[in-house]
């Protein structure tokens, strides 16, 4: 969640200092795409009254709710079982807030990394992400190269050892709360 130092941090909408007496609303780092309009709220805090005036306020709240439910449950999209350990999971933050985009349905998907090679939409996701980027709809947020890292993870060759599926290379978690 956004770090707020009351008496020092400023509200991104009115640019005034947020005090202990103010009712604040805070957002986690839940958006991976710097070009999405909802990125405005990513890891930020606002006076509640200022926030309520923003045209995307309801949309941002609804998406934050979906993010929080997904990160609390951590259900693998493939097995529908909870991911056992946080480091065993790959999480997709918000790619697009536009419901008309093909990628919208992938927002906040979670995978057990052992299952990712069995994901039947893997090729489709990679193609669609590449097209999305080619259409100039994507930019990684600073210091967080989701696009290349996540797609690279998905592209890692899978080596079969008998009945086991083993990733050829360690997959890094696709999401960091920091």
Tokens read off for 25: 């609303």
> Which of 13-21, 59-67, 69-77, 151-159 is the region at the interface with Zn ion (rule: CB under 5 A)?
13-21
Q: Is 144 helix (H, G, I), strand (E, B) or coil?
A: strand
Applying CB under 5 A, does 45 fall inside the site for Zn ion? no
Measured from the CB atom, the residue of 47 and 77 that comes closer to Zn ion is 47
Burial string for 125-145 (b: 16+ CB within 10 Å, else e) reads: beebbeebbeeebbebbeeee
The angle, 0 to 180 degrees and rounded to 10, between the axes of the packed helices 146-155 and 122-134 is 150
Query: Closest by alpha carbon to 46, among 20, 22, 12?
Result: 12
Applying CB under 5 A, does 64 fall inside the site for Zn ion? no
Count of residues that bind Zn ion according to CB under 5 A: 5
Applying CB under 5 A, does 50 fall inside the site for Zn ion? yes
Q: Which of 1, 6, 14, 81 binds Zn ion (CB under 5 A)?
A: 14
Tokens read off for 73: 């449950």
Measured from the CB atom, the residue of 10 and 172 that comes closer to Zn ion is 10
Could you tell me the smallest distance in angstroms from the CB atom of residue 64 to Zn ion? 18
> Which of 4-12, 103-111, 151-159, 169-177 is the region at the interface with Zn ion (rule: CB under 5 A)?
4-12
Query: Closest by alpha carbon to 116, among 52, 64, 168, 42?
Result: 168
Residue nearest to Zn ion (CB): 11
């Amino acid at each position: 969640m956004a770090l707020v130092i009351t008496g020092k941090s400023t509200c991104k909408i009115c640019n005034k200092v947020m005090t202990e007496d103010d009712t604040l609303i805070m957002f986690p780092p839940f958006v991976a795409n710097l070009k999405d309009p909802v990125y405005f709220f990513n890891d930020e805090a606002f006076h509640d009254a200022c926030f309520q005036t923003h045209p995307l306020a309801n949309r941002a709240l609804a998406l934050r709710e979906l993010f929080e439910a997904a990160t609390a449950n951590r259900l693998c999209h493939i097995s529908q079982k909870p991911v056992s350990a946080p480091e065993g999971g790959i999480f997709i933050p918000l790619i697009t807030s536009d419901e008309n985009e093909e990628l919208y349905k992938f927002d906040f998907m979670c995978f057990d990394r052992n299952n990712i090679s069995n994901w039947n939409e893997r090729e489709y996701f990679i193609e669609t992400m590449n097209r999305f980027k080619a259409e100039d709809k994507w930019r990684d947020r600073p210091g967080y190269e989701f696009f290349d890292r996540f797609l690279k993870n998905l592209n890692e060759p899978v080596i079969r050892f008998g009945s086991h599926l083993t990733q050829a290379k360690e997959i890094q978690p696709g999401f960091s709360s920091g």
